[in-house]
Structure 1
Amino acid sequence: MKIEINGTLTEMRADTLAGLLDELGHGDAKVATALNETFVPASARGQTALAPGDRVEIVAPRQGG
């Protein structure tokens, strides 16, 4: 299915947010996620279904000064 990931339309096979993160190689990474502009906590990603046209944002924390 085609979904938008960080502003880029992408063809993915995953049907949940957790599956999407695994498919993208972010499986165990500490990232923040939002689906259609709504924050999704890590504990809910496995139950968060994806649909064609969804917009997903994945943000990794940064360090520095």
Structure 2
Amino acid sequence: MKIVLNGDPKEVKASTLAKLLEECGFSGRVATAVNEEFVPSSLRIAHALSEGDRVEILSPMQGG
């Protein structure tokens, strides 16, 4: 399926947001949004992805 991940087109096999995080190698604490709607970590396992979804995955950064 084709989605847009952090602004870049990407072909993925994942059918849910949780599986997408695993497929793309994200671990630890991250924030997620699909089509500009925040998705809490407790709902990622059930959040189905669709062709053309725009997914944002953000991880905290330290520094200043």
Query: Normalising by structure 1, what TM-score?
Result: 0.95
Instruction: Tell me which stretches of 4 or more aligned residues in structure 1 moved more than 4 Å.
Output: none
Counterpart position of 2:4:
4
Number of residue-to-residue matches in the alignment: 64
Over the aligned positions, Cα root-mean-square deviation in angstroms equals 0.7
Q: Which runs of 5+ in 2 are unaligned?
A: none
Q: Which runs of 5+ in 1 are unaligned?
A: none
C-alpha distance after superposition, 1:33-52 (max 9, x if no partner): 00000000000000000000
Take 2:28 and 2:5, find their aligned partners in 1: how far apart are those partners?
16
